[in-house]
Amino acid sequence: MSQSADQPGRQPDATDRPTIFVVYGATGDLSRRLVSPAFFELARLGRLPRRWRLIGSGRGEKSHEEFRGFLHEALEEFGPQPSDGPWEEFAQNLLFAGGGFTAEDPGELLDVVGRARADLDDGTGDDAQVVHYLAIPPGAFLETTKAIQAHGLVEGSRVVYEKPYGTSLETFEELDAQVQRVFDEEQVFRIDHFLAFEAQQDVIHARFANPWLASIWNAEHVAQVQVDIAETLDVAQRASFYDATGAFLDMIVTHLFQMAATVAMEPPADLGPGALQAARDAALQDFRELDPSEVVLGQFEGYTDIEGVPEDSTTDTLAAARVWVDNDRWRGVPFLLRSGKKMAADAQRVTLVLREPADGPYAGQDVEPSTISFSLLEGGAFDVAVTVRRPGVAGGLAQGTATLPLDSFEGSGPALPYVHLIEHVLTGDRSLFTGVEGLRAAWTCIERFSQDRPAVQPYAPGTWGPEAVDELAAPGQWFLR
């Protein structure tokens, strides 16, 4: 195979180092829906390296052409459409290595990697770097890590681990000990794709770029912080995975903890690759050990009727928790986290609920609290709800909301989270990835809860969960209700 030509419209800051991406689990659901479309989007934007190959690794047998057809179908289903970009050029860079990949048997991978290295060699001695992307179930992380070491694919490489990176403090420590034995920390990228949402990033930039907002980002002015990820969908397409995991492990201790830490973190020295990750990690280390009495688990009625779900399943399809951050900025402010399936709406929001007036004519009056809210859906939005005088002779108070759609700026458009993440791996930017100390703190925070889980309570589909969820927000209430 001849080297591909420079990409049309290729951005000047895209890396020039030849790169071989190895996607383990390349024919799985995650790769098909999210990872592969992100690679094609990067090709459309001209942000892949000048010389690259993507090798799909899997247990099955596929020819290179069959793998290209597989990804073409994935793009037709999930976008971007092949007709919208340089599909033919992109496809020339796709290879497949079947037969699996273990420490005992590398399957076809070593041969295909060798072929890719030869294709990318232009005689300058600039050897290709390898990026290992583990789009596989977390139970396979350890074995694949050992196989990468066994077959000499560690030196000069980078490795990307999907979440969850462990399922408890014990499994986290076991996995990370092996990873640290094999890789230097600078080589490791641990994904939580919610950190790459456009609006999630804007929480950071809006706070620090606007002094008025930064000045009220503390316990003096904020009564509650709420992080809500609600879905109207059920789990029918992934019932077996979900029943073994549940909402708390799938969402709360991963995505929502990271989002809460993004809100809670102290101002970093700068917005460089390491500073944001370090600031989030430090915030997570201030999370108080989770009290099981401040966690509510729910299961929507009809869940056990889904094919693949045991009749006696006690898996939580909704989880809500009240988390406390023990530092001077946030002491006494509850962080309310909620996520679930078959809820009343599809919503993803981070909301700061401001305190009611402490003095003046409205002190002690029944005034709707002002809020600052970030929607994470689609392009994102920034909302500020304020109380004003109602126009007219009767007067009185009314609350209105000013909304700034974050995709409304001329010449801008939201990028998929995985587009951000893969490009950051290429550039070595760790700002959108989880840190090992933060993950350790998160798993430590839930140790008591893991040993004393509250009973799962039923809730009707199309609601906001069991009544006990509302009690977590008392004396206030959930922004989404």
Domain spans, the chain: 19-162, 195-415+430-472
CATH class of the domain defined by 19-162: alpha beta
Which residues are catalytically annotated?
255
Task: Characterize the bridge pairing of strands 222-230 and 433-434.
Answer: unpaired
Neighbours of 378 (CB within 10 A): 14
Q: What is the C-alpha to C-alpha distance for residues 153 and 105, in angstroms, rounded to an integer?
A: 14
DSSP count for the chain of H helices, then E strands:
16, 16
The answer to whether 275 touches 268, Cβ cutoff 8 Å, is yes
Question: Under CATH, which architecture does the 195-415+430-472 domain have?
Answer: 2-Layer Sandwich (3.30)
SS3 3: coil
**Binding site, annotated residues:** 25-32, 59, 163, 193, 231, 250, 341
Tell me the whole-structure pTM to 2 decimals.
Answer: 0.89
In sequence order, the β-bridge partners of residue 350 are 227, 374
Q: What is the C-alpha to C-alpha distance for residues 134 and 165, in angstroms, rounded to an integer?
A: 11
Q: What is the C-alpha to C-alpha distance for residues 468 and 458, in angstroms, rounded to an integer?
A: 11
371-375, strands of its sheet edge to edge? 397-405, 381-389, 371-375, 347-354, 222-230, 334-340, 318-324, 295-300, 456-459
pLDDT at 411: 67
The answer to whether 429 touches 273, Cβ cutoff 8 Å, is yes
Q: What is the C-alpha to C-alpha distance for residues 23 and 133, in angstroms, rounded to an integer?
A: 5
Structure tokens at 361: 């004519």
pLDDT at 47: 93
**Binding site, annotated residues for NADP(+):** 25-32, 59, 163
pLDDT at 414: 64
Residue 425, sorted as left (phi over 0), alpha (psi -120 to 50) or beta, turns out to be alpha
One digit per residue, the tens of pLDDT, for the chain of length 481 reads 444 434 434 444 446 789 999 999 999 988 999 999 999 999 999 999 999 999 999 999 999 999 999 999 999 999 899 998 899 999 999 999 999 999 999 999 999 999 999 999 877 666 899 999 999 988 899 999 999 999 999 999 999 999 888 889 999 999 999 999 999 999 999 999 888 887 788 899 999 999 999 999 999 999 999 999 999 999 877 788 889 889 999 999 999 999 999 999 999 988 877 899 999 999 999 999 999 999 999 999 999 999 989 999 999 999 999 999 999 999 999 999 999 999 999 999 999 999 988 888 877 777 889 999 999 887 789 999 999 888 888 888 888 999 998 888 876 666 778 999 999 999 999 888 999 999 999 999 999 999 999 999 999 999 999 999 999 999 999 999 8
Give the dihedral of Cα atoms 304, 306, 310, 315; nearest 10 deg.
-60
